[in-house]
Amino acid sequence: MAAPSRRLFGTNGVRGVVNRELTPEFVLLLTEAIGTFFGRSKILVGWDGRTSSPILSDLVASGLMSAGCTVYELGMAPTPAVQYLAKAGGFNGAVMVTASHNPPEYNGIKVMDFTGVEIPPEGELAIEKIYFKKQMALRDWNSLGEKLPAQDRLEAYRRAIMERVDQDVIRRSRFKVVVDAANGVGSLTTPYLCRELGCEVVTINSHIDGTFPGRLPEPTPANLDSLCRTVRSVGADVGVAHDGDADRAIFVDEKGQVHWGDMSFALIAEHYLKQGGGREVVTPVSSSQVIEDIASKYGGKVVWTPVGSPYVSRTMIARGAGLGGEENGGIFYAPHIPVRDGGMATALMLEVMATAGERLSTLTDRLPRYFNIKDKVPCPSRLKSRVLRQVKKEAEGYRVETTDGLKIWHRDRSWILIRPSGTEPVYRLFAEARSKEEAERLSSRYKAVISRAVKRNVRRS
Ligand code: MG
């Protein structure tokens, strides 16, 4: 299932630092290539709240129109809203200007097809070919694309989410919710969505500001101190933190404890399987076994994918699976749209809490407990595949899976995932075990194995 190698597109579109990798000239040529790929068609364009998004979205519109596409400008919107509206509005595709959770100096271009899902790797390769071979088909003056407004559609997106949950049971619970939108586009939808679901809403970091003055756009526990404090001080039932483009949601319980994405996914999966929503749940190999425990308890089945949200979406579509999730807080709900959606995740979590009639901390306490360690080891990109082969040899005797990188299983269901980063010269390590000590032991053992292999190969090359 590994993607053929692409030169511009990464796991989630084309990303880079603005005016360094992502220069205006490059973005214009790239979107001329994207427009050529789509041909004469209706393309929805949205953007996040980054300082560079107004510049890039104008370039995107210009590139698409010069290739004959009609551009419908949605304006600032969460990525999942653009994806849902691309599908529901009968567009041929969509382009989103966003760098998701990356630091403020980054931005990116994400391309979706008429289903609202990221175009497959073959499509990305086709766009790259047009770009590198300079085969952009620019139109004459009398067949250029137009630019039309497509604002005021965010309400339709919110309504679509609300239709997928039990609104009455949520409204009866009269939850108090704190929303931390990371000064990003989630502030345009999630606070309103929660209010429409009968919640009392407190917001923090919810004015859009591309300098991200409140916190960095990645909702890691280290960035969520003020959310945790606010949840406790206002006596909220739950806090929700988005990344910069609101396709991810991380939840904080009423005690102010952050629960990482695979725990909230486990709760949503439990609810989904119990309610007879479907049998299969889809998740990348980096997720906790807690998903497997929950699935087997309710007669469900976990389908494991490589790491990256497009893999989860495509696997869900191919298998007709209804629910997917990622350890980073991505929840994919196919009845709405099989892409990760922070607003949909929030509504589902409210439904889980309301249906159970219990506090979020009680629900998470009941889940099987595992300990996770994340780490990384430097490794020059050119040595990555050679090093991985040598590490695999050292894991002889253990069960090894190769869905993505190496997943090595040790005793008592502890495991370590070793995968090359697609963007940095490092190996990423994810270890999980029943105790913190065992997870740390696994992580440092393989860290040492990789470092030794890197050193050997550096000396040789
Ligand atoms: Mg994102």
State pLDDT tens for residues 400-413: 999 999 999 998 89
What's residue 4's pLDDT?
A: 53
The confidence band for 1, taking pLDDT boundaries of 50, 70 and 90, is very low
pLDDT tens digits for range 145-155: 999 999 789 99
What's residue 3's pLDDT?
A: 45
Taking only Cα atoms into account, the Rg of the chain, rounded to an integer number of angstroms, comes to 22
**Distance between Cα 99 and ligand 1 center (Å):** 7
Give the Cα separation of 208 and 53 in Å (integer): 12
Average pLDDT over residues 97-110: 96
pLDDT tens digits for range 19-30: 999 999 999 999
| DSSP H helical ranges for 42-139 | 53-66, 79-88, 121-132
What's residue 288's pLDDT?
A: 97
Helices 154-162 and 342-356: crossing angle in degrees, nearest 10, is 30
The confidence band for 458, taking pLDDT boundaries of 50, 70 and 90, is confident
**Distance between Cα 461 and ligand 1 center (Å):** 38
Asked if the domains 156-365 and 371-460 are classified in one and the same CATH topology, the answer is no
* Ion ligand 1 nearby residues (CB, 5 A): 100, 243, 245, 247
Q: Which one is the CATH code of 14-152: 3.40.50.1980, 3.40.120.10, 3.40.50.720, 3.40.640.10?
A: 3.40.120.10
**Distance between Cα 447 and ligand 1 center (Å):** 29
What's residue 422's pLDDT?
A: 73
Topology, domain 371-460: TATA-Binding Protein (3.30.310)
Give the Cα separation of 438 and 350 in Å (integer): 34
Helix (H) or strand (E) holding 44: strand 42-47
What's residue 151's pLDDT?
A: 79
**Distance between Cα 196 and ligand 1 center (Å):** 24
Helix (H) or strand (E) holding 284: strand 280-284
**Distance between Cα 348 and ligand 1 center (Å):** 18
pLDDT tens digits for range 196-254: 999 999 999 999 999 999 999 999 999 999 999 999 999 999 999 999 999 999 999 99
Residue 347 confidence (pLDDT) above 80 = yes
Give the Cα separation of 238 and 2 in Å (integer): 38
Whether the CB-CB separation of 250 and 261 falls below 8 Å is answered with: yes
Q: Structural domain boundaries of the chain?
A: 14-152, 156-365, 371-460
* Mean of all residue pLDDT scores within the chain: 95
Residue 425 confidence (pLDDT) above 90 = no
**Distance between Cα 47 and ligand 1 center (Å):** 12
Residue 368 confidence (pLDDT) above 50 = yes
Average pLDDT over residues 135-148: 98
Topology, domain 156-365: Alpha-D-Glucose-1,6-Bisphosphate; Chain A, domain 3 (3.40.120)
Q: Is 53 considered catalytic here? A: no
Q: CA 356, 252, 371 angle in degrees (round to 5)?
A: 95
Q: Active-site residue among 100, 173, 287, 309?
A: 100
389: three-class secondary structure by DSSP? helix
For the chain, what percent of residues have pLDDT higher than 90?
A: 93
What's residue 278's pLDDT?
A: 94
What's residue 11's pLDDT?
A: 81
Give the Cα separation of 85 and 96 in Å (integer): 12
Average pLDDT over residues 414-441: 93
What's residue 62's pLDDT?
A: 98
Residue 165 confidence (pLDDT) above 60 = yes
Q: Which amino acid is at 284?
A: P
What's residue 6's pLDDT?
A: 79
